[in-house]
């Protein structure tokens, strides 16, 4: 019996690496989609209902139709783009132009620029649309702030002091927005109803 138990242990130990391999997904490059333009890439955003991929690229945003896997447009004439957010109810998209101190609104059907919305602060970087508050929120790393933009009126309507350098954020769609502070190793929680900082998790 003791020999059997020892043999069973050895078999289990031998199988452990195989189990680990079986549970680890393997990703391989499937296709390369060429994009025009120069400069570095930053954020990408997928508009899932419309099967569109947006990629920020230097001073422009490349637009790719994921059904055909081809570039279909370029949103240009910005100074230094970062993130992209989409409000499908309004057929509008929003790009954070950090070097231009603006949020650029565009039409998601034609990909034409609607308006460059001036925003206070520096380094407009990460950007999201929060469906709960129905606001676009832009995170400014250099200014330790979040800027609130109304996607209907296309104007800045508020600012939140973040207490550190915010990077990217996610909304739970139910009234809470979570944003990491890259210089504080902490997470800020924003109350989307009040559009104020609720607490910081360290």
What phi and psi values does residue 89 have, to the nearest 5 degrees?
A: -60, -25
Please tell me the predicted confidence (pLDDT) of residue 170.
96
Q: What is the dihedral of CA 68, 77, 166, 152, to 10 degrees?
A: -80
| 153 vs 161: CA distance, rounded Å | 23
Quote the pLDDT of residue 3: 41
pLDDT of res. 13: 45
Which tokens in the block code for residue 4? 């059997």
DSSP 80-146: SEEEEEEEGGGTEEEEEETTTTEEEEEETTT--EEEEEE-SSS-EEEEEEETTTTEEEEEETTTTEE
Taking the model in full, what pTM does it have? 0.86
Quote the Cα angle for 90-96-100, to 5°. Answer: 125
The whole-number pLDDT of residue 20 equals 52
pLDDT for 19 equals 53
Q: Give all domains of the chain, ordered by start, each with its CATH number.
A: 39-201 (2.130.10.10)
pLDDT tens, residue order, the chain (202 aa): 444 344 334 334 444 555 555 577 888 988 899 999 988 899 999 999 999 999 999 999 999 999 999 999 999 999 999 999 999 999 999 999 999 999 999 999 999 999 999 999 999 999 999 999 999 999 999 999 999 999 999 999 999 999 999 999 999 999 999 999 989 989 999 999 999 999 999 8
């Amino acid at each position: 019996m003791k020999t059997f138990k020892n043999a069973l242990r050895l078999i289990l130990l031998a199988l452990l690496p195989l189990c680990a391999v079986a549970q680890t997904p393997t990703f391989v490059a499937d296709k390369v989609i060429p994009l025009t333009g120069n400069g570095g890439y930053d954020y990408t955003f997928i508009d899932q209902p419309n099967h569109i991929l947006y990629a920020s690229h230097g001073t422009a945003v490349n637009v790719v139709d994921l059904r055909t896997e081809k570039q279909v447009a370029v949103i240009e004439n910005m100074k230094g783009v970062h993130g992209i957010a989409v409000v499908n109810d309004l057929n509008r998209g929003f790009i954070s132009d950090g070097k231009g101190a603006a949020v650029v609104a565009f039409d998601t059907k034609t990909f034409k620029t609607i308006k460059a919305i001036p925003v206070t602060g520096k380094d407009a970087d990460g950007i999201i649309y929060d469906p709960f508050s129905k606001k676009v929120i832009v995170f400014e790393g250099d200014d330790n702030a979040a800027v609130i933009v109304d996607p209907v009126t296309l104007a800045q309507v508020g600012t939140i002091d973040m207490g550190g350098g915010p990077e990217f954020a996610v909304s739970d769609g139910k009234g809470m927005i979570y944003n990491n502070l890259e210089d504080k190793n902490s997470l800020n929680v924003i109350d989307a109803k009040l559009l104020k900082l609720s607490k910081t998790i360290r």
